[in-house]
Amino acid sequence: MIEVEKLHFTYPGNSEPTLKDINFTIAEGEIFGFLGPNGAGKSTAQKILIGILKKYSGRVQVMNHEMRDLNSSYYESIGVAFEFPNLYSKFTALENLDFFRKLYSGETEKPEELLAMVGLEKDGNTRIAEYSKGMKMRLNFCRSLLNKPDILFLDEPTSGLDPVNLRRIIEIITNLKDAGKTVCLTTHDMHVADTLCDRVAFLVDGEIALIDSPRQLKLHNGKQRVRVEFRENESLNTREFRLDNLGKDAEFIRILNEKNIETIHTQEASLEDIFIKTTGRRLL
């Protein structure tokens, strides 16, 4: 669906390139995540994929079309949600959706149904100026679905959402994947990346430092051990065991049988651990 090869990009007036030798592919029906700190080049990569920045070098093909040569019909088949909600503040939510849907020639979703999908059905006639940040984010997200796109580009889609709405958006994106849609997102939220993405790319200083599925990355970078916490004589004790032949480890079996177990966790790495280990930097 998306093929990127030897992508370099430098903003006009800058001496340093923002993206350096980027290579990746995104398959149809895949959820692909760009992770990285601010200024790493995530949004720039997305802007190239949505055709805003065309003066790149390398090959960037979406649905077999080179991005620097695309025409307006490309926008009939993609949906975009920017990081900051860009909506008419003087319009109601329904007026906003109704306006934007008319910019597409193809079949569009019903605004009322999109609002219901993100839990804004009762706020359709409220002006955006009166919306909270989370409500604007949800409206911004559902607007990207107006034209029934094949590919979705979402920049920080869960930023500013409360846990209930965070779960709602994750569920919608998962359903979109099940319906065969391709999703390319950027996020700072490791939980979102872990839950949603089939594969993630860690972008640091314009380069892809790592690219793989969250599961593979966590397993590969973690310890092949399990940690057991148990109570003994009122004190909390911790023991770690190797995962290989765990069932034959006499001490492990004894603790399971004799002690009051409180937690058992395998020691795979978290995505944030991997990021820090790979880049030496924290996510900001």
Q: Which residues bind another protein (CB under 8 A)?
A: 12, 50-52, 72-73, 75-76, 78, 80, 82, 84, 86-91, 95, 99-100, 102-105
Closest CB 234 distance from another protein, rounded Å: 59
CA–CA separation, 103 and 106 (whole Å):
9
- Which C-beta is closer to another protein: that of 26 or that of 151? 151
Residue type, 26: I
Closest CB 143 distance from another protein, rounded Å: 8
Closest CB 76 distance from another protein, rounded Å: 6
- Which C-beta is closer to another protein: that of 24 or that of 88? 88
CA–CA separation, 172 and 66 (whole Å):
29
- Which C-beta is closer to another protein: that of 47 or that of 199? 47
CA distances from 228 to 72, 100, 130, 221, 244 (A): 58, 54, 50, 20, 15
Closest CB 273 distance from another protein, rounded Å: 35
Strand partners, 230: 237, 261
Closest CB 66 distance from another protein, rounded Å: 17
- Which C-beta is closer to another protein: that of 75 or that of 272? 75
- From its phi and psi, is residue 107 left (phi > 0), alpha (psi between -120 and 50) or beta? beta
Nearest in space to 26 (alpha carbons), one of 194, 148, 150? 150
Kindly tell me the sign of the dihedral angle through the C-alpha atoms of 184, 187, 192, 195.
Answer: positive
Closest CB 124 distance from another protein, rounded Å: 16
Nearest in space to 205 (alpha carbons), one of 21, 27, 33? 21
Are the C-beta atoms of 222 and 268 separated by less than 8 Å? yes
- Which C-beta is closer to another protein: that of 12 or that of 163? 12
